[in-house]
């Protein structure tokens, strides 16, 4: 529980900021942000004793006979919610979850990531993550759910001073900075209405907290502009989808353990083993980093998203890309995993990515040779010759791989693994029995 000094410090900060309400947040197993708001007068009590809630009503949490759970706010996650009016100042705190016995709840996604990070620490590593968000801005007029209308007709790096999208992106960037998230750059992406915002790297827990915060902030700012921001991986057929490419490195005692001066890719043996681990676990990892039915509509050839399990440097069709090394920037040497999408629960995704990489390090695995050609152009024979496997073609295949993967299963822990698989199988089965417009068009009159 938070000590008196921390509680006093936070209370003073909130008083100085004129905070009236505190929004306490956490995520369920699929990654939906949950929230309970308390008046600032109740904060001290919440920091000391926590706030009780009914865990059985949260997707993937407790069984019905052990429902009581407790939220304990993490003071390090304090930020003001900038879009709320000054007349009603709201602060936000992310929470850890405890059982009635006062133990950290093993199924809390934030705790699962902390557990994975402790394993890395035991090997002397800090796991760093830099996420790139892609998302669409759709117009709200009409029904964005039924027929999304892109907000602009721009394309990659387009800019026009009268472009309202540029203003929305700048507002998003300023809002994120105001919430303590350092923005690297913002730009228009390839598809009409599609944008990208890149966040400065940080340790994986901070980055996962940033992902949760950024999604919620981007949605809120878009709404203030009368737009709908979506992180759905493939909202429109036939054009690029939205990924959340994730740049990763391991630091050891402040130095980048992925860097080696004498290697053609400037990668160390540790980096190669880490990459090999992620390639070996790629199919099961997909169930965590690309976790929705819709994710697999994005992971197809032809739209700059990965569909095959391979790595390379110039190759944007690869699953793992090694961004070019700029001399003197040893700390920036990293591996970019390209299959994650922003519909994932970042805590589980980063925990899985780390567990897969560490497995490669523990087993001293060697990755296959890099592939520098466009893999989309390879036919099945060439893929077979080069031993290049395909990523799961749908959520069902990814879940089968996850269910069979003991390394990722252990990273999630038995309870969370079961609940995650249960929830996701339900989603996959429900989808599998839908009858779509495409089927009616294709078969109604011809069968
Ligand atoms: N939008 C593409 C994807 O789905 C990636 C485009 C890029 O290379 O940034 O991953
Ligand atoms: Mg991009």
DSSP string spanning 44-73?
A: HHHHHH-EEEEGGGSTT---TTS-EEEEEE
* pLDDT at res. 164: 73
- Comparing CA positions, the residue from 243, 204, 211, 201 lying closest to residue 340 is 243
State how far the Cα of 435 lies from the Cα of 440, in Å rounded to an integer.
Answer: 8
- Nearest bound ligand to the CA of residue 343: 1
**DSSP assignments along 10-53, one per residue:** HHHHHHHHT--EEEEEEE-TT--EEEEEEEGGGHHHHHHH-EEE
- Comparing CA positions, the residue from 235, 19, 418 lying closest to residue 10 is 19
Q: What is the CA radius of gyration of the chain?
A: 22
Which residues have CB under 8 Å from 44's CB, separation 6+? Answer: 7, 11
Q: Output phi, psi for 390, to 5 deg.
A: -95, 145
Annotated catalytic residue, options 74, 108, 134, 304: 134
State how far the Cα of 60 lies from the Cα of 80, in Å rounded to an integer.
Answer: 29
The question of whether 427 is a catalytic residue gets the answer no
Which atom, in ligand 1's list, is nearest to the CA of 298?
A: 4
* pLDDT at res. 170: 92
Is 339 touching ligand 1 by the criterion CB < 6 Å?
Answer: no
State how far the Cα of 315 lies from the Cα of 261, in Å rounded to an integer.
Answer: 22
Domain boundaries, the chain: 4-105, 114-438
Strand, coil or helix: 75: helix
* pLDDT at res. 171: 94
Residues of the chain with pLDDT under 50: none
- Comparing CA positions, the residue from 65, 62, 76, 72 lying closest to residue 104 is 72
State how far the Cα of 161 lies from the Cα of 389, in Å rounded to an integer.
Answer: 45
Is 336 touching ligand 1 by the criterion CB < 6 Å?
Answer: no
From the DSSP assignment, how many helices (H) and strands (E) are in the chain?
Answer: 14, 18
Which atom, in ligand 1's list, is nearest to the CA of 240?
A: 1
The question of whether 177 is a catalytic residue gets the answer no
**Considering the entire predicted model, what is its pTM?**
0.95
Q: What is the pLDDT of residues 119-155, one digit of tens each?
A: 999 999 999 999 999 999 998 776 666 667 777 777 7
114-438 matches 4-105 in CATH topology: no
DSSP assigned state of 259: B
State how far the Cα of 433 lies from the Cα of 414, in Å rounded to an integer.
Answer: 29
Which atom, in ligand 1's list, is nearest to the CA of 245?
A: 10
CATH number of 4-105: 3.10.20.70
The question of whether 196 is a catalytic residue gets the answer yes
- Comparing CA positions, the residue from 172, 166, 223, 220 lying closest to residue 199 is 172
Is 195 touching ligand 1 by the criterion CB < 6 Å?
Answer: no
Distance of CA 74 to the CA centre of its chain: 20
* pLDDT at res. 64: 58
Give per-residue burial for 177-216: e unless 16+ CB within 10 Å, then b: eebebebeebebbbbbbbbbbbbebbbbbbbbbbbbbbbb
Protein residue with least CA distance to atom 8, ligand 1: 304
**DSSP assignments along 107-174, one per residue:** T-HHHHHHHHHHHHHHTT-EEEEEEEEEEEEEESSS-TTTS--BS----TT---TT-HHHHHHHHHHH
- For the domain made up of 114-438, the CATH class stated in words is alpha beta
The question of whether 9 is a catalytic residue gets the answer no
Annotated catalytic residue, options 44, 316, 397, 427: 316
């Amino acid at each position: 529980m938070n000590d008196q000094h921390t509680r006093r410090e936070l209370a003073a900060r909130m008083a100085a900021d004129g905070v009236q309400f505190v929004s306490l947040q956490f995520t369920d197993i699929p990654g939906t942000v949950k929230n309970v708001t308390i008046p600032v007068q109740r904060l001290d009590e919440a920091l000391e004793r926590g706030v009780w809630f009914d865990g059985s009503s949260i997707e993937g949490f407790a069984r019905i006979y052990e429902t009581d759970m407790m939220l304990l706010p993490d003071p390090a996650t304090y930020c003001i919610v900038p879009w709320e009016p000054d007349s009603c100042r709201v602060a936000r705190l992310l929470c850890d979850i405890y059982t009635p016995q006062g133990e950290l709840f093993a199924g809390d996604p934030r705790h699962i990531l902390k557990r994975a990070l402790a394993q890395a620490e035991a090997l002397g590593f800090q796991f760093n993550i830099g996420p790139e968000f892609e998302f669409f801005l759709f117009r709200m007029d009409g029904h964005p759910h039924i027929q999304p209308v892109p907000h602009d007709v721009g394309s990659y790096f387009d800019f026009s001073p009268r472009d309202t999208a540029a203003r929305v992106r700048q507002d998003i960037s300023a809002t994120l900075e105001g919430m303590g998230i350092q923005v690297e750059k913002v730009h228009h992406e390839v598809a009409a209405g599609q944008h990208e915002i890149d966040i400065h790297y940080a340790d994986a827990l901070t980055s996962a907290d940033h992902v949760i915060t950024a999604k919620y902030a981007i949605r809120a700012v878009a709404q203030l502009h009368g737009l709908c921001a979506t992180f759905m991986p493939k909202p429109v057929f036939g054009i690029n989808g939205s990924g959340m490419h994730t740049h990763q490195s391991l630091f050891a005692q402040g130095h980048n353990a992925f860097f080696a001066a004498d290697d053609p890719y400037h990668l160390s043996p540790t980096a190669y083993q880490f990459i090999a681990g992620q390639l070996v676990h790629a199919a099961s990892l997909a169930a965590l980093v690309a976790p929705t039915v819709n994710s697999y509509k994005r992971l197809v050839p032809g739209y700059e998203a990965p569909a095959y399990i391979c790595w390379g440097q110039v190759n944007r069709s690869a699953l793992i890309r090694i961004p070019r090394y700029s001399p003197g920037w040893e700390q920036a040497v990293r591996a970019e995993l390209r299959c994650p999408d922003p519909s994932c629960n970042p805590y589980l995704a980063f925990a899985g990515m780390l567990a897969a990489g560490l497995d490669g390090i523990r087993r001293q695995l060697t990755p296959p040779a890099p592939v520098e050609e466009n893999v989309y152009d390879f036919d099945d024979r060439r893929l077979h010759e080069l031993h290049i496997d395909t990523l799961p073609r749908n959520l069902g295949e990814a879940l089968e791989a996850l269910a069979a993967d003991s390394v990722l299963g252990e990273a999630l822990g038995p309870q969370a693994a079961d609940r995650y698989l249960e929830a996701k199988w339900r989603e996959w089965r429900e989808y599998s029995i839908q009858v779509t417009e495409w089927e009616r068009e294709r078969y109604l009159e011809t069968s």
